[in-house]
Chain A
């Protein structure tokens, strides 16, 4: 049996009460996935990322959402939010908190949205992430029966973040999940949505998530992806964004965990005045592999994008950044900026970076660049001259490098969590968690 057949066999174990259009789409996804198969390194988009660990794995589907309460409390973000929790892809009513949603704001698990009024979801679901995008979106389409639907009526402003927590358990049998996130932001609506991936330390599951965001005129969405999965977890994600006139999309793609992580982020700026900001950070150690593929399509005149991705790589970790900015013919008065900076803490860490601009218009302001390097030795000396030992000096400077992305993060609880995680995971004696706490305490006082 081929790897795709082996994966698709699990489909037969699913419930079969889908609405007919969902069933048809599943079949299309399955057929496409079977035809394409898993990507190999011969595929240009997967040149640096080997997915054999996924293809050769044996992943069951979880059937319950039980999760240790104490562990849940320790891992969730301490944030006042509307919370929806999936455990290995299964909705947990017990851990979710969705009471008190304002008028015009819908947040519910995909399964419920489909069972209550599947027609309302049908138009949008899958519109951006078609089965042809990649074998993984096809696979997701075949399997996805859970996820999150967020719909904002025109003018709705969500008072608190919408917090989607996706937990991964360490079971005897590894599992796969194919969550589907759909965010429809009506005209002039505003929301902050957090996708937070976390779980038990020894979890070795496969998460394959697809997120679609549709921003109508003037909508503003901050989208956080905080990926803190176990260092043994496998994680593939694609995020697809469609932006109408004057809308604003701010992406924060923060990757700390996972053994093998691939994220595709694609935004189509389809209306004048639309603006996208991509902020990215990855911090990898050991033999972690993180691949970010980003794409901004400037399809309309007077659209703006600004991308800043930073990577810190230690040990034998491997990072990939492939960022493409595409300006369509006659899409004039574009501004597009892109930057990728990487810090290598070890000689054996590796980064493959490829910033790319493809421009078919003449009235554009664009810049792109990539830098990879080590720490500034003058700064190391300046810190040592104050009595700070060398490892600590290097740790402080690493944290500073990360801080330049964190300064853009508007949710303090996330910025602080990432800073602490980085500080706490730096090599021996690099532990700066205490320093970060002091700075926070002084700021609050």
Chain B
């Protein structure tokens, strides 16, 4: 589904990713872990098309398509969605406007008509109930005055409505208490299916107790230096990152 090959990225002339390779197949959940400053967030930001990142080398293919040929909104419509670590507040834009506009844009890209209003209303109500969000949130401005946990739940709500093929979640667990974490994790788990994939970017293993990954990668200095299954995350939790750093230096 996603193929990252030899990706080099600089931010303000500073090299952040230095030849990163990653393949994610449909049906898989991948976790990228690593110490602060390793470039974890850069990878998902580049895939989502955020400004300020310069790709100096390498390719990213999503379902065989070169994503650097696609506008930000085209990537999203094709099924690539990024859940932000710090979702911004958009005063005055109601959640309901965002959800409907986004869903209809995606449908239009697939050649489908707009979603009928009753169907849409049913859908967003169901999904907000799943995220334990009161329907009144739908009428509120996007993230405005939301707590940290509410913002994260709102990110997942957008995912549940838009059903991305590849959901990328950047530090989705930061700032969540255990109850909020369970709600968020259950939302993410409901996205799991044979034809979708999930990419988790996280600093802590804690999240992976709730969303079990198929593959765990350790990112150091802009490269994946070690990959393994979920046991690797537990080992990192127990032993820290130093032994991986030493191993990769050796």
Contact = CB atoms under 8 A, between A and B. Distances in A.
Residue from A399, A435, A438 having most chain B Cβ neighbours under 10 A:
A438
B121 A385 contact: no
Contacts of B100: 435, 438
A382 B117 CA distance: 24
B82 interface: yes
B191 to A, nearest CB: 15
A392 B36 CA distance: 36
A445 interface: yes
Chain A: number of interface residues, binned into ranges: 20 to 34
Contacts of A439: 94, 96-97, 139
Contacts of A402: 92
A442 B100 CA distance: 12
Given A387-B73, A434-B114, A439-B96, A400 B101 contact: no
Given A385-B81, A386-B162, A378 B138 contact: no
Contact of A384 (B73, B94, B96): B73
A438 B123 CA distance: 13
Contact of A385 (B72, B117, B139): B72
Contacts of B120: 438
Contact of A404 (B92, B124, B135): B92
Interface string A381-408: 1111111111010001101111110000
Interface in B60-103: 71-73, 76-77, 81-82, 84, 87-88, 90-94, 96-98, 100-102
A432 B97 CA distance: 9
B135 to A, nearest CB: 8
Given A386-B98, A434-B114, A435-B97, A400 B73 contact: no
Nearest to A436: B97
A382 B90 contact: yes
Contacts of A385: 48-50, 72-73, 76, 81-82
Interface in A409-445: 432, 434-435, 437-439, 441-443, 445
A379 interface: yes
Contact of A386 (B102, B121, B135, B138): B102
B117 A387 contact: no
Nearest to B82: A385
B106 interface: yes
B139 A386 contact: no
A443 B73 contact: no
B109 interface: yes
A29 B98 CA distance: 54
Contact of A396 (B50, B97, B114): B97
Contact of B141 (A400, A437, A438): A400
Contacts of A376: 90
Contacts of A392: 101, 105
B76 A387 contact: yes
A442 B162 contact: no
Nearest to A406: B92
A330 B42 CA distance: 61
B112 interface: no
Contacts of B82: 385
Contacts of B84: 382
B73 A396 contact: no
A381 B88 CA distance: 10
A390 B65 CA distance: 22
A435 B98 CA distance: 9
Contacts of B49: 385
A401 B105 contact: no
A12 to B, nearest CB: 53
A383 B106 CA distance: 13
B37 to A, nearest CB: 23
B51 interface: yes
Contacts of B96: 435, 438-439, 442
Contact of B51 (A381, A397, A400, A438): A381
Contacts of B202: none
B98 A396 contact: yes
Contacts of B18: none
Contacts of A435: 96-97, 100-101
Contact of B72 (A381, A401, A445): A381
B101 A403 contact: no
A386 B98 CA distance: 8
Contacts of A432: 97, 101
Nearest to B138: A442
Interface in B140-188: 141-142, 158, 162
Interface of B: 48-51, 71-73, 76-77, 81-82, 84, 87-88, 90-94, 96-98, 100-102, 105-106, 109, 114, 117, 120-121, 124, 135, 138-139, 141-142, 158, 162
15 contacts: A379-B88, A382-B87, A383-B93, A383-B101, A384-B71, A384-B72, A385-B76, A388-B73, A388-B102, A389-B73, A396-B97, A438-B96, A442-B135, A443-B139, A445-B121
Given A379-B90, A382-B90, A438-B117, 8 more contacts: A382-B142, A386-B98, A396-B93, A397-B92, A399-B92, A401-B92, A438-B96, A441-B121
Pairs A-B, 3 closest by C-beta atoms: A400-B92, A387-B76, A386-B102
